[in-house]
Amino acid sequence: MNRRLMLTWLIVVLAIISLQSLGWASGMISHQNQTGRRKLRDQRGFISIDCGIAPGSDHTDGGTQIYYTSDAEFIDTGINYNVSSDYVNEHTDQNLKNVRSFPEGDRNCYTLRPREGKYLIRAHFKYGNYDSKNQLPIFKLHLGVDEWTTINITDASFPFREEIIHVADKDHLDVSLVNINRGTPFISVLELRQLNGSIYSPSETGSLQLFNRWDFGTKEYDEWA
């Protein structure tokens, strides 16, 4: 095993330990899947945005008790849609029943204002044929001025998720959806979770994109929130 691979494994294990110390982590997780979740009591350092719900509205997730708010105060572009009823059932999470879509502009950005520190940033995308076009899009996701990842929606019913750990060292943070002329960008949920200081050294800045996450030793398959 080469040194770079060993370093990658070490970072992943440290991330698991850090998340468990905050009471979040349990179970083996795919970053493109969702299952049952534990309730959280302490939501300090959380920003939880349900993209596409009406301005001024909010709700609390029944499984995790996490409070979600409208995205209206974080962005002033885009159009709200509900996903098609064909893709909603009694098991569908409330925050995956709607999206904010961006048919205009090459780049549309959410501006977040977290406190300085280390954050886990998650973005969720469930197409659900919200626009009745049955056209699965491909678009870019940027964090600040840097490209984060490419979002390639390959299944209208599947909730895709991307994660990145980032050190916020400014008074604002932009998460941008970038149109590459391969379909209309959209987003379902945007979340920030503040981490403790053990993952990075105090002076280190930058980002760490998720490859996968394992929790060793638990008996139940359960997702952290």
Give residue-wise pLDDT tens across range 1-60.
Answer: 455 555 555 555 455 545 444 444 332 233 444 434 444 444 566 899 999 999 999 999
* Residue type for position 95: N
Is the pLDDT score of 154 beyond 90? yes
Q: What tokens does 42 get?
A: 């302490």
Is the pLDDT score of 149 beyond 60? yes
pLDDT given at position 63: 80
Element (H, E) at 107: strand 107-112
Over residues 158-162, the mean pLDDT reads 95
Distances in Å between the Cα of 181 and the Cα atoms of 106, 174, 176 are 9, 21, 15
Model pTM?
0.74
pLDDT given at position 124: 97
pLDDT given at position 101: 98
Tens of pLDDT, residues 99-133 = 999 999 999 999 998 777 788 899 999 999 999 99
pLDDT given at position 197: 67
Distances in Å between the Cα of 168 and the Cα atoms of 12, 112, 118, 145, 193 are 20, 10, 6, 13, 12
Measured in Å, how far apart are the chain's first and last C-alpha atoms? 32
pLDDT given at position 180: 98
Q: Please indicate whether residue 37 or residue 211 has the higher confidence score (pLDDT).
A: 211
Over residues 84-105, the mean pLDDT reads 95
Binned at pLDDT 50, 70 and 90, residue 78 comes out as very high
Is the pLDDT score of 208 beyond 70? no
